[in-house]
Amino acid sequence: MEKKGTILMQRYELGRLLGQGTFAKVYHARNLKSGQSVAIKIIDKEKVLRGGLIDQIKREISVMRLVRHPNVVQLYEVMASKTKIYFAMEFVKGGELFNKVARGKLKEDAARKYFQQLIGAVDYCHSRGVYHRDIKPENLLLDEFGNLKISDFGLSALAESRRQDGLLHTTCGTPAYVAPEVINKKGYDGAKADIWSSGVVLFVLLAGYLPFNEQNLMEMYKKITRGEFKCPQWFPPEARKLLSRILNPCPFTRINMATLMENSWFKKGFKANVAAPKPLQIKGDVSSISDVEVALDEGSSVSNSSIESGRPPTRTNSFNAFDIISLSQGFDLSGLFENDMNERPPTRFTTTKPASTIVSKFEEIAEMERFKVMKKDGMVKLQGSKQGRKGQLGIDAEIFEVTPSFFVVEVKKTAGDTLEYKQFYNKDMKPCLKDIVWAWEGNEQQQQQQQQQQPQPPQPQLQIHNR
């Protein structure tokens, strides 16, 4: 058991216990070098393994690494020992927004300010491919200046968690704040679900009580699925109208984030806060996010010697006949389901180079452009360091093995602005990849030229054609 005054990893002095749960405790702590106050979350690795929460911890690390916003509680460092995982996080002094609301409703300007900060941060999370899924006043903290900070990403989801239908399917969240489509268990859009929960928070800020609140849970769910709520008479007319569009039980006609942020009531006095905090550092026995994941795997631990021993062989995903058919012209059904015509579809190329060479090429691109790199099981993730119009660029390159000497690589944008990605892809990425590309998807002319210059590789029965 950690005691007050304990020196942790030769970097932090532990202070008072701030809170605890089944698998973790949170302490106030002081950085020995800078004197900065932080919150240290200490996670018991054995309890996490027994409780089957490995993926949740991995996801929380990945999400907090991706989301660097002034209105989100920041993760400063990740450290690890053989038995514990340590998160060094921003210490938020003002407590929960819930405590402020518990004393009664807020004035319109105060409620709007908190709602603006919440929506600004949630919109940024969505631009990074992150959906919180448990937005409520208890997870919204206030700093000493009265600024809102979103916390607790333990139930969050990444865009890559979506199934083939493009929807999330895990039912989670707090009953009074959860969107009706989540309750219905037929799949849901994480962004639309977060908007609903944010609308419930706005109602609570203005009213001082919940819009859906029944002792009988089934009765409450019925009201939520029907969108049955009543605004008190003191609500401003514009706020009433906005809430009716946010708390629309049909996710397809519910207001989206872009339209919400253009709403006249919302925009009053709104100042976007996009200054990026300091980047995440990894300390102690851990050298990267993927090493933290290894440390969490059952029966394994990470030490300096294992990190220095060299790279493990590059693992790839395999392509079967169905995967190849799904990429062929005439079998691509994505147009039936994808609504955003401005989104750039994934780009694919084939190559005869080994997986390790493919990964090294993407590492070269990352180094030249100052991107961060994360590698795992045939996937290379690139994260830009510059703040663009919609945050930092996020790019995934996934490597598929068709035969032992023939690979398909799929490159896609996972976060950031589509136009900025297109410019980066055409100007920087594509020229750098030309040394390893055998053929770009649908580029038959290039394929013929390559055939004249090098031996033909083993091929699948179906060629990859342009969508």
Q: Catalytic residues, which ones?
A: 134
Residue 384 · residue 279 · CB < 8 Å? no
The CA distances from residue 131 to 128, 135, 155, in Å, are: 9, 10, 9
Residue 201 · residue 242 · CB < 8 Å? no
Residue 263 · residue 236 · CB < 8 Å? no
Element (H, E) at 56: helix 54-66
Distance of CA 356 to the CA centre of its chain: 27
Nearest in space to 382 (alpha carbons), one of 353, 415, 341, 337: 415
Residue 429 DSSP class: I
- Token pair for 167: 């929807």
DSSP string, 285-314: T--SHHHHHHHHSTT----HHHHHT-PPPP
For residue 374, what are the β-bridge partners?
A: 381
Alpha helices (H) in 87-189, listed in sequence order:
97-102, 108-127, 180-183
Residue carrying the six token digits 């990893």 = 9
Is residue 244 classed exposed, middle or buried when 0-12, 13-18 and 19+ CB atoms within 10 A define those classes? middle
Residue 388 DSSP class: B
Residue 57 · residue 85 · CB < 8 Å? yes
CA separation for the pair 381, 365 (Å, rounded): 12
Sign of CA dihedral 145, 147, 148, 153: negative
- Token pair for 315: 């693992």
Q: Which residues contact 13 (CB under 8 A, 6 or more apart)?
A: 5, 6, 7, 29, 30, 32
Residue 182 · residue 171 · CB < 8 Å? yes
- Exposure string (b/e) for 300-330, b if CB count within 10 Å is 16 or more? eebeeeeeeeeeeebebeebeeeebeebeee
- Token pair for 31: 């950085």
CA separation for the pair 24, 110 (Å, rounded): 33
Q: Is 41 annotated as a binding residue?
A: yes
Pick out the residues of the known binding site: 41
